[in-house]
Amino acid sequence: MKVEQILSQFQATGVETCFHDRHIVAQIYAGLDGRNWRLRDYESRGGYQALRKILGLDGGPGMTPDQVVAEVKASGLRGRGGAGFPTGLKWSFMPKNYNGPKYLVCNSDEGEPGTFKDRWCLERDPHRFLEGLLIAAWAVGIEGVWIYLRDEYHGCRAILERELARLQADPPCALPVIELRRGAGAYICGEESAMIESIEGKRGIVRAKPPLPALQGLFGQPTVINNVITLASVPIIMAKGAAFYKDFGMGRSTGTLPFQITGNIKQGGLVERAFGSVSYTHLTLPTTPYV
Ligand SMILES: Cc1cc2nc3c(=O)[nH]c(=O)nc-3n(C[C@H](O)[C@H](O)[C@H](O)COP(=O)(O)O)c2cc1C
């Protein structure tokens, strides 16, 4: 039995392994040291090259918005906000020939207890997220972007304000209007329709569906909503291709996932690995007995 073999090998050696004999290592958080988060650092890691490739600014033929959506669909990327909805499919629901503004809302509310994957990304690699956001906005024809940021994330807010200003001073392409919105401090405001209500200045209460936000979302306009890590996964897909991304993970769960490890365990932290990996070293031993 392959599964049993792999698990027993892991238990014997403690060495990370996987069920699919392919890549397992970090992609989104790779090469970060907590200090190399500025625009020039990201560019030196190849940042904004995916966006330039799409727009044909690298001397290549460029891509159409439909091709970008198709590539994200082919990658199998699913939303990292919790529901796991296929991202490319969600983008394709947005009307194409719409006579009015379309909006993108980035869900950075991160209210689930014990979660910190979005905060890590925003603090340590904000431009990876911003590049993904710009690619999504371009592919879907977005006019206005709202980043709905958990209000307790003061550090993220300071970084995002500064890095957005840097981006606006030297933009890689025409930028949509981007507004950074402080969250309302209620867990329910992380739910997409309650978040829309909150951005509109109302109390955060879940809206009845239909209509889907893609048809009638923020201020009644077609709106796509994505999590920070969903967007931060997009530059890798566009730079290296859907096939490369799919080679991490297994079945319908493609790519890598940041595992947020907290609680009464040997070593907490954030571990990004491909789906199908076995890397539970951190989890095995509680430091103190459970009470
Ligand atoms: C009660 C509730 C709270 C939620 N909180 C969050 C959150 O803090 N961050 C987030 O990204 N998604 C959250 N979601 C999921 C969002 O409604 C939505 O599915 C997600 O932001 C879509 O982005 P994705 O497709 O990129 O995952 C929550 C859902 C529910 C039902």
Per-residue pLDDT reduced to its tens digit, 96-107? 999 999 999 999
Residues 75 and 217 in one domain: yes
Ligand 1 geometric centre to CA of 112 (Å): 9
What pLDDT score was predicted for residue 168? 93
CA 222/CA 218 separation, integer angstroms: 7
Ligand 1 geometric centre to CA of 288 (Å): 33
Task: Pick the atom of ligand 1 nearest to 110's CA.
Answer: 8
Residues 205 and 117 in one domain: yes
Both tokens of residue 28? 């989104």
What pLDDT score was predicted for residue 19? 86
What pLDDT score was predicted for residue 21? 85
Does the beta carbon of 109 sit less than 6 angstroms from any atom of ligand 1?
yes
Q: Concatenate the DSSP letters of all residues of 153-188 into one string.
A: -HHHHHHHHHHHHHHHHS-SSPPPEEEEEE--S-GG
- Burial (0-12, 13-18, 19+ Cβ within 10 Å), 180: middle
pTM for the whole structure? 0.95
- Which residues in the chain land under pLDDT 50? 290-291
Residues 233 and 99 in one domain: yes
Residues 58 and 5 in one domain: no
Structural domain span for residue 57: 36-247
Task: Pick the atom of ligand 1 nearest to 190's CA.
Answer: 5
The CATH number linked to 56 is: 3.40.50.11540
Ligand 1 geometric centre to CA of 275 (Å): 20
Residues 257 and 279 in one domain: yes
